[in-house]
């Protein structure tokens, strides 16, 4: 296996993003400094630009190059990718995201022959696929759970992989690794499509009525307060981080932040309506909420409702 060549089969943002983040963390730890990640999308760069990106640096500095939509690459960029894969310049780690099909389907075989480490990053299509994802999540955390627990988490949490992963980690954390059906029901009995991310999305887009309705449903059915608070904090902090880059290219920003480009694009759309003062206040609100749901508030449910409504009201009216 080539430890500098990676093939990500599938283009699910969460799955590819997690692999890239883990790789960047590992490379940075080994290098003793942060290793930059550069993301480019085939079809949006020329062959000369691709050649420059994949050329060795003067001092063989470590960097990770992520090539997206490789299945749709033109003839010249595709040839350059496969040639580079077979003789990677010193200092370069190449990550190729490929659907497995497309006009460059044959690239997959070439990368495999070159020793690429392969990761399945295809979005689950069926319920059974999501069940398998949840089973593997618990296994990676190092916890053994029953088939009934896996099925119940999948059924109650919904289809969003980010939410499913967060649920597995939260359940393990809050139960000390002793996850059973009762603990899952305590946290997640309710309408599965109402998630912390849904509440947060409505709040940061200024949908006060929608956010409070979703929050009330989640609270009524016992959704964990800490998950709701974490989702709101993540949404607010993401807007603050992305907004600090201005109206830049989502691929460049994704490279800087280690986020999937699709998620950056969504956050950019949300961030356009916010200004520095309002998002700064929202950051303070979610910071207070974090303490409130962890025992510092007499009424954590009220603290959640107050934080959600405050964030929704803070979002400036322009751009709605």
Q: Which pair of tokens denotes residue 11?
A: 């283009």
Would you say 134 and 161 are in contact if contact means Cβ atoms under 8 Å apart? no
Q: Would you state the pLDDT for residue 318?
A: 59
The number of helices, as runs of H, and strands, as runs of E, in the chain is 15, 5
Q: Would you state the pLDDT for residue 58?
A: 64
Q: Would you state the pLDDT for residue 307?
A: 95
Q: What is the pLDDT of residues 169-192, one digit of tens each?
A: 989 988 899 999 888 887 776 544
Q: Would you state the pLDDT for residue 194?
A: 58
Q: Alpha-carbon distance 243 to 6, whole Å? A: 31
User: Order of strands across the sheet with 37-41?
Assistant: 37-41, 63-68, 92-98, 5-9, 117-120
Burial, 266: exposed, middle or buried (Cβ in 10 Å; 0-12, 13-18, 19+)?
middle
- Helix or strand run (H / E) with residue 47: helix 47-53
Give this prediction's pTM: 0.60
Q: Would you state the pLDDT for residue 304?
A: 92
Q: Would you state the pLDDT for residue 192?
A: 46
Would you say 92 and 2 are in contact if contact means Cβ atoms under 8 Å apart? no
Fold topology of 5-120: Rossmann fold (3.40.50)
Q: Alpha-carbon distance 164 to 158, whole Å? A: 7
> What CATH number was assigned to the domain covering residues 127-314?
1.20.272.10
Q: Would you state the pLDDT for residue 102?
A: 85
Q: Would you state the pLDDT for residue 320?
A: 40
Q: Alpha-carbon distance 145 to 150, whole Å? A: 7
Q: Would you state the pLDDT for residue 52?
A: 83
Q: Would you state the pLDDT for residue 221?
A: 66
Q: Would you state the pLDDT for residue 262?
A: 79
Q: What is the pLDDT of residues 53-80, one digit of tens each?
A: 888 766 668 889 999 999 988 888 888 8
Only one residue has tokens 């359940």, namely 171
- Pick the closest to residue 43 from 101, 121, 122, 104 (CA basis): 104
pLDDT means per 10 residues, the chain with 320 residues, are: 92 91 92 89 78 74 90 87 88 93 90 94 87 94 92 84 89 90 77 70 92 83 80 92 87 80 87 93 92 78 92 78
Q: Would you state the pLDDT for residue 203?
A: 94
Would you say 243 and 279 are in contact if contact means Cβ atoms under 8 Å apart? yes
Q: Would you state the pLDDT for residue 77?
A: 86
Q: Where are the domains of the chain?
A: 5-120, 127-314
């Amino acid at each position: 296996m080539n430890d500098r060549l990676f093939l990500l089969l599938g283009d699910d943002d969460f799955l590819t993003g997690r692999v890239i983040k883990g790789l960047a963390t590992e490379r940075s730890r080994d290098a003793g400094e942060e290793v930059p990640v550069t993301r480019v999308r085939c079809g949006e760069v020329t062959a000369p630009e691709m050649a420059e990106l994949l050329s060795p640096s003067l001092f063989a500095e470590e960097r990770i190059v992520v090539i997206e939509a490789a299945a749709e690459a033109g003839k010249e960029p595709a040839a350059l990718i496969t040639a580079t894969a077979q003789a990677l310049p010193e200092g370069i780690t190449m990550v190729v995201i490929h659907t497995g099909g497309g006009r460059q389907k044959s690239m997959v075989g070439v990368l495999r022959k070159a020793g690429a480490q392969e990761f399945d990053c295809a979005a689950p299509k069926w319920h059974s696929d999501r069940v398998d994802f949840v089973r593997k999540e618990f296994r990676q955390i190092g916890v053994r759970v029953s088939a009934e627990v896996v099925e119940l988490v999948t059924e109650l949490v919904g289809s969003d992989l980010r939410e499913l992963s967060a649920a597995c980690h939260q359940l393990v954390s809050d139960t000390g690794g002793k996850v059973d059906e009762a603990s899952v029901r305590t946290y997640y009995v309710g309408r599965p499509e109402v998630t912390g991310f849904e509440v947060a999305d409505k709040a940061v887009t200024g949908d006060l009525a929608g956010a409070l309705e979703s929050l009330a449903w989640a609270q009524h059915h016992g959704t964990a307060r800490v998950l709701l608070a974490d989702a709101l904090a993540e949404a607010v902090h993401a807007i603050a981080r992305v907004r600090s880059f201005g109206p830049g290219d989502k691929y460049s920003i994704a490279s800087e932040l280690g986020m999937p480009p699709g998620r950056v694009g969504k956050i950019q759309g949300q961030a356009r309506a916010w200004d520095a003062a309002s998002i700064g206040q929202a950051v303070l609100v979610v910071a207070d909420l974090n303490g409130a749901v962890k025992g510092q508030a007499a009424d954590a449910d009220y603290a959640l409702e107050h934080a959600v409504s405050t964030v929704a009201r803070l979002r400036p009216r322009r751009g709605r």
